[in-house]
């Protein structure tokens, strides 16, 4: 039988048929000039996070007025007491901030990678309590309607949740975590949750077979109208993204260039972004190097925390 | 007569059937094979549901491809793991035509790629340890990838039914036996099941209630004594978990093993098609028995 999995190939584009979330149809180059990244202190979840996010949005020039926005947190496990999921407090604050900035419509969507009860996950993680009318605003991307979008690897297409395709801006809201395959999981890796489990399963194994780094890059090449808000107030170190330990970093990192955001997060985590395989290859689509990033708020080195790494990732350490 | 819990869920399912005859994962969404299967299973045998089932049946039949496998919904053009659900439903209805044979052939030809000889050789040469018996493979969610617990459970249920009806021949019987070995091999240290393997990077993985319920459902009737530890764990998990999906799977599993479990409450917590159908199927008067190899409506 012909293999229908997503096969590896050099990352060449194909015209992308769908509008909405920036599936833009031509090979994407990195943004011209410098990329703005805001690194803002947020010592705890009890602070005024709406104000912090509004400040970050201002520094980064985020414009959502009249647009439909999809907030995409990282929802992984049934456990509100750990650092696995993006904090519901951060999601609620982002929702309020985006609302104040005049977005026409705000949805929250996630397609968890291995647990099937997405609404149950959201409930246990505290999302129902934190976000007003959460159930009306939330879309389980694993059970949503799907559409085919061209432009992913050899076979040229991949299915995505229709809610994703219909949004004008995707706000990727990961937790700042180490990852036992990719090294780190941040704004770019968080896009794995856009791929519907209803088609590809739990986990979304074709992404692994295509290569995790390649898939991260492909997804971020396809979805360009993004903004990142990284929850680094309490992140995860060690054997992430599930079995690691909490690590307080006391920071929110924000920006429109997800490569620049992930690179900045790495610097906060004492990791050299150039040594992280997917970021090493990401310079085609974003600015990774410090001289191409305009840092606002705090300098990353001032907030640097030493995130523990699994032994096989010690080579990623910032020198 | 249906219990109140079953009746409210069946009524919910009837009310939310799509125009094309199927059900989405949530009301008003595209129809998918998986929630349609569970809705049909839950409604089977209820006279008031017969027209809805016939509409669903026509839709499901239209999803079989020339390869024998079934598409998971109208928008997706590749056959998928959900073919197993369609095979199970054919057996439940006693429809043993050429469509069933073609679907079974497709299922038998599909297997997780981790069992491929070249892959095992490569891993061996690289000194990688699998942490599982790579010669016992189940089914993948997506062709050309690794086998995982859930599609393997559905494949096992389907092929056990096929074999019980004397169809599929030796290949189907052997494939079912292999799937059963795979499930038993991938038990976690506590006797339950994770969604895939029992360990990763040499570290034990936790078992989950929903996948433990699923595995015990697939293994229903197995004489293997190793299953007993999983049943003990499943009872504990059912007391502890609040996830409606997990509770539904554990309830179905325990009932199939002849154990008691509480019926779901009359009120549905959320408008979720899969949960409604699973809870209705797993109610004391539900159709959970139809998942057993020899059970059908004929």
* Banded model confidence at residue A3, pLDDT cuts 50, 70, 90: very low
pTM assigned to the model: 0.93
Q: In whole angstroms, what is the distance from residue B30 CA to residue B271 CA?
A: 15
Tell me, rounded to whole angstroms, the distance of Cα B66 from its chain centroid.
23
First to last CA, chain A: 48
Is a pLDDT exceeding 90 seen at residue B235? Answer: yes
DSSP for residue A283: G
Q: In whole angstroms, what is the distance from residue A203 CA to residue B196 CA?
A: 9
| More confidently predicted of B122 and A168 | A168
Tens digit of pLDDT for each residue in A55-93? 999 999 999 999 999 999 999 987 767 799 999 999 999
> In whole numbers, what is the pLDDT of chain A averaged over residues?
90
Contacts of A243 in chain B (CB under 8 A): 203
Number of residues that make up chain A? 319
Tens digit of pLDDT for each residue in B9-40? 999 999 999 999 999 999 999 999 999 999 99
In chain A, the percentage of residues whose pLDDT exceeds 70 is 90
* Banded model confidence at residue A191, pLDDT cuts 50, 70, 90: very high
Dihedral Cα A246, A248, A253, A257, nearest 10 deg: -40
- Three-class SS state of B185: helix
Nearest CA in chain A to B242: A120
> Of B75, B144, B245, which has the smallest distance from its Cβ to A146's Cβ?
B75
Whether residues B246 and A120 touch (CB distance < 8 A) is answered with yes
| More confidently predicted of A316 and B294 | A316
> Of B143, B246, B272, which has the smallest distance from its Cβ to A4's Cβ?
B143
Say if CB B32 and CB B22 are below 8 A apart. yes
* Banded model confidence at residue A9, pLDDT cuts 50, 70, 90: very low
Q: In whole angstroms, what is the distance from residue B213 CA to residue B238 CA?
A: 9
Q: Dihedral of CA B236/B242/B246/B249: which sign?
A: positive
Tens digit of pLDDT for each residue in A131-172? 999 999 999 999 999 999 988 876 578 999 999 999 999 999
Q: Which helix (H) or strand (E) holds A265?
A: helix A258-268
pLDDT, mean of residues A221-242: 95
Is a pLDDT exceeding 80 seen at residue B46? Answer: yes
Is a pLDDT exceeding 60 seen at residue A8? Answer: no
Tens digit of pLDDT for each residue in B149-171? 999 999 999 999 999 999 999 99
* Banded model confidence at residue B269, pLDDT cuts 50, 70, 90: confident
Nearest CA in chain B to A201: B141
| Among B7-11, B123-127, B190-194, the least confident range | B123-127
| Among A23-27, A114-118, B99-103, B105-109, the least confident range | A23-27
pLDDT, mean of residues A268-284: 97
- Chain A segment 197-226 residues within 8 A of B by beta carbon are 198-203, 205-206, 208-209
* Banded model confidence at residue A23, pLDDT cuts 50, 70, 90: low
Instruction: Give the per-residue pLDDT at A155.
Output: 58
């Amino acid at each position: 039988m012909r293999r229908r999995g997503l096969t590896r190939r050099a990352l060449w584009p194909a015209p992308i048929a769908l509008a909405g979330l920036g599936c833009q149809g031509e090979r994407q180059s990195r943004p011209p000039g410098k990329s703005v990244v805001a690194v803002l202190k947020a010592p705890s979840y009890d602070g005024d996070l709406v104000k912090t996010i509004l400040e970050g949005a201002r520094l980064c020039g985020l414009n959502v007025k009249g647009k439909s926005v999809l907030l995409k947190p990282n929802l992984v496990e049934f456990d509100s007491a750990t650092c696995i999921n993006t904090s519901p407090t951060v999601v609620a604050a982002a929702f309020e901030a985006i609302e104040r900035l005049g977005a026409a419509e705000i949805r929250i969507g996630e397609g968890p990678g291995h647990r099937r009860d997405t609404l149950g996950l959201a409930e246990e993680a505290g999302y129902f309590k934190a976000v007003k009318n959460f159930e009306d605003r939330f879309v389980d991307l694993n059970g949503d309607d799907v559409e085919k979008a061209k432009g992913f690897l050899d076979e040229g297409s991949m299915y995505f949740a229709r809610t994703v395709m219909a949004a004008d801006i995707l706000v990727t809201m990961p937790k700042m975590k180490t990852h036992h395959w990719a090294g780190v999981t941040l704004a770019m890796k968080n896009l794995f949750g856009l791929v519907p489990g209803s088609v590809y399963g739990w986990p979304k194994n074709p992404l692994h077979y295509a290569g995790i780094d390649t898939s991260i890059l492909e997804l971020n090449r396809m979805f360009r109208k993004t903004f990142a808000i990284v929850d680094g107030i309490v992140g995860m170190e060690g054997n992430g993204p599930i079995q690691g330990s909490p690590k307080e970093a006391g920071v929110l990192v924000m920006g429109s260039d997800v490569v620049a955001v992930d690179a900045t997060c790495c610097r906060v985590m004492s990791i050299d972004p150039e040594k992280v395989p997917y970021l090493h290859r990401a310079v085609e689509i974003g600015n990774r190097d410090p001289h191409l990033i305009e840092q606002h708020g705090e300098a990353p080195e001032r907030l640097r925390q030493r995130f523990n790494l699994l032994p096989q990732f010690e080579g990623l350490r910032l020198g | 007569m249906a219990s109140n819990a079953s009746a409210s869920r069946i009524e919910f399912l009837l009310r939310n059937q799509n125009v094309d005859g199927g059900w989405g994962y949530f009301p008003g969404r595209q129809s998918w094979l998986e929630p349609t299967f569970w809705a049909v299973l839950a409604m089977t045998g209820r006279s008031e549901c017969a027209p809805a089932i016939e509409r669903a049946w026509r839709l499901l039949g239209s999803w079989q491809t020339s390869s024998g496998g079934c598409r998971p919904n109208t928008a997706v053009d590749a056959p998928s793991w959900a073919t197993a659900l369609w095979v199970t439903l054919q057996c439940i209805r006693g429809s043993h035509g050429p469509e069933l044979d073609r679907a079974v052939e497709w299922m038998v030809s599909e297997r997780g790629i981790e069992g491929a000889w070249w892959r095992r050789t490569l891993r061996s040469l690289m000194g990688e340890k699998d942490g599982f018996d790579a010669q016992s493979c189940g089914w993948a969610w997506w062709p050309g990838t690794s086998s995982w617990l859930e599609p393997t459970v559905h494949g096992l249920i389907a092929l056990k039914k096929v074999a019980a009806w004397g169809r599929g021949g030796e290949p189907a019987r052997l494939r079912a036996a292999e799937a059963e070995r795979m499930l038993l091999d991938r038990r976690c240290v506590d006797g339950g099941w994770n969604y895939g393997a029992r360990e990763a990077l040499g570290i034990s993985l936790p078992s989950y209630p929903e996948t433990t319920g699923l595995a015990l459902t697939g293994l229903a009737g197995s004489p293997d004594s190793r299953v007993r530890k999983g049943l003990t764990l499943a009872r504990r998990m059912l007391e502890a978990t609040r996830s409606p999906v997990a509770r539904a799977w554990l309830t179905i599993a325990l009932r199939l093993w002849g154990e008691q479990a509480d019926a779901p409450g009359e009120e549905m917590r959320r408008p979720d098609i899969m949960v409604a159908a699973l809870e209705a199927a797993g109610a004391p008067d539900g159709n959970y028995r139809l998942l057993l190899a020899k059970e059908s409506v004929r």
